[in-house]
């Protein structure tokens, strides 16, 4: 009897502890399901008129029919405080997660499963770089006021919020107070996601196996012009040294480098602008769609910010004050990712296997060693020893050798000042000039006023020693660090063509005096835009919107005829592909069959030499599409061209493969793959199921995102859409005496997953619809059109 009693009490205690604290991935279910204050307790639209501590004068916030807030303040400081407050009221959890990523602080919310990322970002030095950046940013009083006011607004919301956001309840954590470094962390997070990509490590593996000649043949810096498109097409006639095998005599001895979570910026951002002579309005028109991971809530927060110094409309990054892309009365501006190579790796040599002294020139130098801590939910704290050389932090060691990263993102410019100043620029020239302090992430910014258009490749472009930047470089020489900028960043103003465009493609032709990079996105989107801009003497805003929705896939147009030429098959799919107009439509399967086929062709051509595991895209890379297109053209023109050796499979010495065999075999594999992934009923195959466009929740909560959407377009169409990447901001801005603009931010502004407006505009976005935005001249106009009005008053709180 007594034993049963003890057992009952014991089991009850265990159960209560489980309810109170959760276990493993199961959250604390007691507080979560509590009716009074748990997940069931939910206030929609919690922002109401109230006191906002720190305000000097009242701030008016009107909400328009699209849920966009328009903020009117009597000083910039009050405006940014209100912006922080309003943004946090809708997006606090997202702000929190975004700013934790690069701080190496995700494990505090998500537990041990996030430790891999936290360890990497901490070793990589992003946490430290944010502290360094704030030290620099805060020297500018206007930037300091902007950030501190914004942070004050966020913290006021944390103090006043009537209840926790649902995500906090689910993860069983509470928000931490913000500080300026957290804001900078968000900037670092974006910088990392846009310019933290590098294939130097994989290319070094190829260099070791194939030698420099073959590696450069497959992965050249430049291809013939037919296969390229350049943002900055002007010919300077001052080419830098052409790559040659002799430059790459050094081959790193590091052979067991682990897989790092390097960034994958995806592809798809576009911007273009037509000047007055090419515009039906007689004034410049700018189009911009920025592509990032498609998440709910959206990366961007749409708002109008108005104070005596400026009146600006556009999108802000949740956790960063100001407007990053948008327009004011006089000027419109918008970015695409610059994609220039700004991340290099070095091999350093330590004195011995446990030493932190490394070779530098003729001597040995002591690395800095510091300790960093990572809090892990439910598992205490992990302490890391961070070893930092003059070249950068050590990411990996093999005996006496170490791998060091150097990244331009470590060097703060004054990006926040540029964001602040853009709000009040009056000409395209001024807009371009404000990017002089912008170091990272490297971006292609277009600026337009009524009469002028301009482009600047904004960011720190390092000047490298000959041959540096492509592979792991010898770090013993102490000469290669990314500290000196190139003499002149590419920029253009009112070009003869009457338009400017960028689509993450190559920036400059081969006769540019410096190496900028080789790993740009394929030229297909840029070529499609250029074709459209050249095809019409004048374009209207409606033409620009239509071009943003263009689903012609130039990759298919360029490559499919070449594939069909070498295909020994006459089945029904061959006819369908021959009749296809190269447009990617959600309900059709031609695009899916072509893309699958093309992937198998590339794998079957090169997997033998590159020792690539077929289907494993995470470990290695294949040559760019344009390079393979060149191979097909060369072999078509001359079957004995030197490229023919890539066709032969090195693992079958008794048989010499032909291009027809490769192409035909890959076609059969592609149809089999489609069969496996989409079923045997070919009438049900679709691009939609192949591409799987769906929005994930920012905290990766299952069921909080969107279903798979009916969405036209591929990563090679102007309407760029690739699985979890897409146009998270689309805008067409017609400059004029008073600008007109059309935008779409899929998901809208609402960040509360239980609110009715969460995920707003996703279906409109998928259908290619744009929304005319309301840009008010003054608060009276805003009040007339408001669906909700909020008065924020100076005071000490509710």
Partner 1 sequence: MIFFGMALMLPVVWFLPWWCFVLFSVLAGALSGGVPRATWSFAFGAALIWPALAFIKDGRSAGVISQKLSALLSLPSPGLIFVVVFILAFVTAFLSFQTGATLRSARFHQPV
Binding site residues, partner 1, CB under 8 A:
2, 4-5, 8-9, 11-12, 15-16, 19-20, 29-31, 33-42, 44, 166, 170, 701-704, 753-754, 756
CB of 36 to partner 1, least distance (A): 6
- Residue 175 DSSP one-character state: P
CB of 50 to partner 1, least distance (A): 22
CB of 3 to partner 1, least distance (A): 11
- Contact partners, residue 616, CB within 8 Å, separation at least 6: none
744: nearest Cα among 536, 549, 605, 579: 549
Element (H, E) at 394: strand 394-398
CB of 33 to partner 1, least distance (A): 5
Q: Which is nearer to partner 1, 541 or 759 (CB)?
A: 759
Cα torsion for 488, 489, 494, 498, to the nearest 10°?
130
Rounded Cα gap, residues 332 and 127, in angstroms: 33
- Residue 276 DSSP one-character state: G
385: nearest Cα among 203, 3, 596, 394: 394
Inter-CA distances, 468 with 52, 163, 220, 346, 515, Å: 53, 53, 14, 10, 9
Q: Which is nearer to partner 1, 37 or 571 (CB)?
A: 37
CB of 722 to partner 1, least distance (A): 24
Q: Which is nearer to partner 1, 466 or 692 (CB)?
A: 692
Rounded Cα gap, residues 70 and 323, in angstroms: 13
3-state DSSP assignment of residue 589 = coil
CB of 288 to partner 1, least distance (A): 33
Q: Which is nearer to partner 1, 24 or 703 (CB)?
A: 703
Tokens of 743: 């935008």
CB of 128 to partner 1, least distance (A): 36
Q: Which is nearer to partner 1, 40 or 364 (CB)?
A: 40
3-state DSSP assignment of residue 503 = coil
Tokens of 434: 């404000």
Q: Which is nearer to partner 1, 91 or 411 (CB)?
A: 91
Q: Which is nearer to partner 1, 41 or 281 (CB)?
A: 41
Our CA angle for 552, 556, 558, nearest 5°, is 105
Classify residue 502 by burial, with Cβ atoms within 10 Å: 0-12, 13-18, 19+: buried
3-state DSSP assignment of residue 72 = strand
Count CA atoms closer than 13 A to 655's CA, side-chain side.
Answer: 8
744: nearest Cα among 758, 757, 756, 727: 727
Rounded Cα gap, residues 793 and 60, in angstroms: 9
Task: List 678's β-bridge partners, or say none.
Answer: none
Q: Which is nearer to partner 1, 32 or 663 (CB)?
A: 32
Q: Which is nearer to partner 1, 113 or 578 (CB)?
A: 113
The CB density around residue 546, as the number of other CB atoms within 10 Å, is 14
Parallel, antiparallel or unpaired: strands 788-794 and 59-63 = antiparallel
CA 708 centroid distance within chain: 21
CB of 679 to partner 1, least distance (A): 22
Q: Which is nearer to partner 1, 5 or 637 (CB)?
A: 5
CB of 1 to partner 1, least distance (A): 8
143: nearest Cα among 103, 100, 102, 187: 187
Count CA atoms closer than 13 A to 712's CA, side-chain side.
Answer: 18
Q: Which is nearer to partner 1, 19 or 375 (CB)?
A: 19
Q: Which is nearer to partner 1, 5 or 246 (CB)?
A: 5
378: nearest Cα among 573, 173, 527: 173
Q: Which is nearer to partner 1, 31 or 112 (CB)?
A: 31
CB of 678 to partner 1, least distance (A): 23
Judge whether 393 and 405 are in contact, CB under 8 Å.
Answer: yes
CB of 97 to partner 1, least distance (A): 17
CB of 701 to partner 1, least distance (A): 6
CB of 114 to partner 1, least distance (A): 18
Count CA atoms closer than 13 A to 626's CA, side-chain side.
Answer: 24
């Amino acid at each position: 009897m007594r034993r049963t009693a003890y057992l009952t009490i014991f089991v009850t205690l265990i159960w209560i502890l489980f309810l109170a604290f959760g276990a493993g991935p199961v959250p604390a279910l007691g507080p979560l399901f509590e009716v009074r204050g748990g997940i069931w307790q939910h206030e929609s639209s919690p922002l109401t008129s109230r006191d906002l501590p720190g305000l000097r004068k009242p701030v008016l916030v009107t909400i328009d029919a699209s849920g966009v807030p328009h903020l009117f303040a009597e000083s910039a400081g009050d405006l940014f405080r209100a912006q922080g407050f309003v943004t946090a009221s809708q997006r606090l959890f997202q702000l929190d997660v975004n700013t934790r990523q690069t701080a190496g602080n995700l494990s505090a919310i998500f537990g041990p499963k996030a430790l891999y990322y936290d360890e990497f970002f901490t070793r990589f030095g992003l946490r430290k770089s944010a502290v360094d950046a704030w030290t620099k940013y805060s020297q500018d009083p206007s930037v300091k006021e902007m950030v501190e006011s914004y942070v004050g607004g966020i913290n006021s919301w944390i103090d006043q919020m009537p209840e926790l956001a649902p995500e906090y309840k689910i993860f069983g954590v509470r928000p931490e107070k913000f500080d300026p470094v957290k804001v900078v962390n968000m900037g670092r997070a974006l910088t990392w996601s846009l310019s933290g990509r590098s294939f130097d490590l994989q290319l070094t593996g190829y260099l070791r196996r194939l030698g420099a000649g073959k590696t450069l043949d497959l992965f050249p810096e430049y291809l013939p012009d037919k296969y390229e498109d350049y943002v900055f097409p002007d010919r300077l006639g001052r080419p830098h040294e052409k790559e040659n095998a002799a430059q790459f005599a050094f081959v790193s001895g590091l052979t067991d480098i682990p897989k790092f979570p390097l960034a994958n910026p995806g592809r798809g951002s576009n911007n273009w602008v037509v000047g007055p002579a090419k515009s039906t309005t007689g004034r410049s028109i700018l189009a911009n769609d920025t592509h990032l991971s498609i998440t709910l809530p959206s990366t961007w927060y749409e708002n109008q910010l108005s104070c005596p110094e400026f009146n600006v409309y556009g999108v802000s990054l949740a956790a960063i004050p100001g407007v990053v892309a948008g327009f004011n009365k006089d000027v419109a501006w918008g970015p695409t990712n610059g994609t220039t190579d700004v991340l290099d790796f070095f091999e350093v040599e330590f004195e011995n296997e446990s030493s932190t002294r490394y070779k530098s020139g003729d001597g040995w130098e002591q690395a800095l060693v510091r300790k960093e801590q990572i809090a892990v939910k439910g598992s205490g704290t992990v302490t890391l020893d961070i070893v930092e050389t003059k070249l950068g932090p050590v990411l990996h060691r093999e005996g006496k050798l170490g791998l060091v990263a150097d990244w331009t993102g470590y060097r703060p410019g004054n990006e926040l000042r540029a964001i602040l100043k853009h709000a009040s620029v009056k000409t395209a020239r001024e807009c371009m000039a404000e990017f002089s302090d912008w170091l990272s992430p490297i971006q292609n910014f277009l600026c337009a006023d009524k009469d002028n258009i301009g482009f600047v490749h904004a960011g720190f472009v390092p000047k490298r020693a000959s041959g540096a930047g492509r592979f792991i470089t010898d770090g013993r020489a102490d000469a290669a660090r990314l500290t000196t900028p190139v003499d002149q960043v590419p920029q253009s103003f009112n070009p003869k063509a009457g338009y400017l465009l960028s689509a993450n493609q190559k920036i400059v032709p081969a006769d540019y005096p410096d190496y900028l990079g080789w790993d740009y996105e394929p030229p297909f989107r840029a070529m499609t835009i250029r074709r459209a801009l050249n095809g019409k003497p004048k374009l209207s805003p409606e033409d620009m919107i239509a071009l943003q929705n263009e689903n012609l896939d130039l990759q298919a147009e360029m490559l499919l005829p070449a594939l069909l030429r070498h295909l020994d098959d006459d089945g029904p799919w061959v006819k369908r592909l021959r009749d296809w107009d190269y447009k990617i439509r959600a309900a059709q399967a031609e695009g899916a069959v072509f893309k699958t086929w093309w992937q198998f062709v590339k794998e079957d051509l090169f997997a033998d030499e590159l020792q690539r595991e077929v289907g494993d895209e995470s470990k290695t890379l294949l040559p760019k599409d344009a390079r393979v297109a060149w191979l097909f053209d060369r072999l078509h023109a001359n079957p004995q061209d030197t490229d023919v050796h890539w066709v032969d499979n090195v693992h079958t010495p008794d048989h010499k493969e032909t291009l027809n065999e490769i192409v035909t075999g890959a076609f059969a594999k592609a149809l089999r793959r489609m069969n496996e992934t989409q079923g045997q009923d070919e009438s049900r195959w679709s691009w939609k199921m192949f591409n799987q466009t769906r929005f994930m929740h920012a905290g990766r909560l299952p069921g909080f995102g969107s279903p798979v959407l009916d969405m036209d377009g591929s990563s090679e169409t102007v309407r760029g859409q690739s699985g979890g990447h897409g146009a998270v901001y689309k805008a067409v801005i017609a400059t004029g005496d008073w600008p007109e603009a059309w935008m779409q931010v899929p998901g809208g502004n609402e960040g509360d997953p239980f609110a009715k407006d969460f995920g707003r505009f996703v279906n409109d976005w998928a259908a290619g619809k744009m929304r005319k935005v309301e840009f008010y001249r003054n608060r009276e106009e805003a009040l007339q059109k408001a669906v909700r009005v909020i008065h924020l008053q100076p005071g000490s709180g509710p």
